Amino acid sequence: MSTTAAPRAEGSWALPLAGAVAAGAALALESVVNGRLGEHAGSLSAAAWSNTLSLSLTAVASLFLTGLRPAFTALQAALRSRALRPWHCLGGLAGGSMVLTQALTAAALGPAPYTLALVSGLTLCGVAVDHLGLGPGSPRRITRRRLAGGLLAVCAVAFPVLAAPDTDRTVGLALLPFLAGCALSWQMGVNGRVDEAAGKHPYPAVLLSFATGTALMAAAVTASALLSALPTPRSGPLWHYTGGLLGCVVVLSAVLTVRRIGVLAAGLGMISGQVLGSLALGPLLGEPPAHQGVVSVGALLLIGAAVLAAPAGNRSRSGPLTPPMSQHQPGGRRK
């Protein structure tokens, strides 16, 4: 039985990795869009709008999807049996904080340094999330290669940030997207657990993610309105308001890829897409060539991190399946 599963898993790597790369490119573009919206509507308003649009689009999608009732029934059963805990359903809080961080820092840092800071946090925490088994499937243990890849990813963001002209300001700003990357890694893991509990139907995980994220943004907007007046939005191009659409692409792609290749591998795919996307966006946004050169060095370091930290073939998957003590006994899965 095990010999037939391995080839299928190996062949399944190409499509999930391609999806993760596409999601990373969408995330790089989303950071630019939300940052531009924040310039004329206020950072908090931009983040709230992006989450609200994502939630609205997800709600409309329910009219065209099938299998929703069995998925939510399975999710409720998992919560009742405590196979899934309530905090697993709060991944959207991390997503909401990431969108807010985008609006606060992306425009000031520029798309490439922002992206490098975000994905270094995602990669480093992805090693821990996989090791602790917070994501779907069996834990993927920390190896020296994976740990070295995470540390190299931190070096990848340190170089372009420290080389920036206004180092003190840049370091302070880069810390926020780094922490947002850590939160995004956790979100990918718990959303994957919700997807697994719902019978591998991605809709409940996506809906819960945007619902909790929108609730966080509503609370933040309310608190801000009570403490000080919200900025009056100025008119801007229509594309400044499309961040929520890109957010749907990112979250859905993350749920679908994490279930197949784990948090770290999905994060590495997103790293590639984000770096490629940010480097392509830089010249379009008029960033100076010297800045692009610094970021290119960071991109090369991230590629090295991917080589070191990426699981070798399918061995990381077959490892957790080998504890035969719990798997071969009839009651092993019910502990």
Q: What is the mean pLDDT of each run of 10 residues along the chain (335 residues)?
A: 41 71 85 80 79 91 92 94 90 80 74 72 80 76 73 69 58 81 87 91 92 87 77 73 88 86 78 76 65 64 61 44 40 42
Give the 3-state secondary structure of residue 310. Answer: coil
Q: Note the pLDDT of residue 168.
A: 55
Q: Note the pLDDT of residue 299.
A: 66
CB 316 within 8 A of CB 6: no
What is the rounded distance in angstroms from the CA atom of residue 334 to the CA atom of residue 113? 46
CA dihedral 333, 126, 53, 172 (to 10 degrees): 150
Q: pTM of the predicted model, to two decimals?
A: 0.73
C-alpha gyration radius of the chain = 20
What is the rounded distance in angstroms from the CA atom of residue 207 to the CA atom of residue 55? 7
- Interior/surface letters 79-112, b for 16+ CB within 10 angstroms, e for the rest: beeeebeeebbbbbbbbbbbbbbbbbbbbebbbb
- Dihedral sign from CA coordinates of 134, 182, 258, 98: positive
Tokens of 134: 């917070």
CB 243 within 8 A of CB 37: yes
Q: Note the pLDDT of residue 7.
A: 41
Q: Note the pLDDT of residue 6.
A: 40
What is the rounded distance in angstroms from the CA atom of residue 288 to the CA atom of residue 97? 30
CB 279 within 8 A of CB 73: no
Q: Note the pLDDT of residue 109.
A: 75
What is the rounded distance in angstroms from the CA atom of residue 185 to the CA atom of residue 202? 17
Could you tell me which of 56, 14, 1, 7 has the C-alpha nearest to residue 210? 56
What is the rounded distance in angstroms from the CA atom of residue 97 to the CA atom of residue 157? 20
Tokens of 233: 């939005």
- Bin 230: left if φ > 0, else alpha if -120 < ψ < 50, else beta: beta
